[in-house]
Amino acid sequence: MTNTKHEFRFKITVIGDGKVGKTSLIKKFTKGSFNQDYTRTIGAQFSKYDKEIEGDNIRLLFWDIAGQDDFGFLRPSFYRESRAAIIVYSLEENTLGENSYNNIANWHEDIRDFCGDIPVVVFANKLDLVDESNLDRAKVQEMVKTRNFLGYYLTSAKTGKGVIEAFNAIINKLYQKYKELSMSL
């Protein structure tokens, strides 16, 4: 019996309102770095990340899509061929935080319209700016259950808390799904 090495390539779309930390989360995961200064994403940014799981090579393509409404017309083409999506919202207790949470449903509808039923996880970002013990987890868990998301993760791009675990959850789900498919062919 030969042990065949497989290669997988997954496009993961990272979406959410502007200023919630999408770019910072990707940089923290792929490069281990964090930039304190906000830089607005114009259209989309692309990041590659290679990983090995069980001897198989995984190439991840993160598409960081601008959250501002003025880039909405570009989104359909950016979503194309996504294997999974990450919706990011801010935990900040201000208008940005409230709006970004309330817009999760809109982002999910976009994903379903343009990608169909792909795995989705939610990252509740900027954990470093709130008191974790005061978070209303029940509200988010209910939304995750209702919308059939894979789960949600508390993250901080600044401190790195939860970032590796959150990204690996979606990557491992994709790997298991497509590994099983490749074994059945």
CATH class of 7-184: alpha beta
pLDDT < 70 regions, the chain:
1-3, 35-44, 66-75, 185
Please provide the DSSP assignment of 13-80 as one string.
EEE-STTSSHHHHHHHHHHS---SS-----SEEEEEEEEEETTEEEEEEEEEE--SGGGGGGHHHHHT
Helix (H) or strand (E) holding 174: helix 163-184
Backbone angles phi, psi at 27, to 5 degrees: -65, -40
**Mapping DSSP to helix (H, G, I), strand (E, B) and coil, where does residue 148 land?**
coil
Per-residue pLDDT, 82? 94
**What single-letter DSSP state applies at residue 128?**
G
Three-state DSSP at 182 gives helix
CB 35 within 8 A of CB 24: yes
Q: Is the pTM of this model over 0.75?
A: yes
**In what side-by-side order are the strands of the sheet with 84-90?**
44-53, 56-65, 7-15, 84-90, 120-125, 151-154
What's the confidence (pLDDT) of residue 1? Answer: 44
**For the chain, domain boundaries:** 7-184
**What pLDDT, in 10s, does the model give residues 1-30?**
446 788 999 999 999 998 999 999 999 999
pLDDT of residue 72: 61
pLDDT for position 151: 93
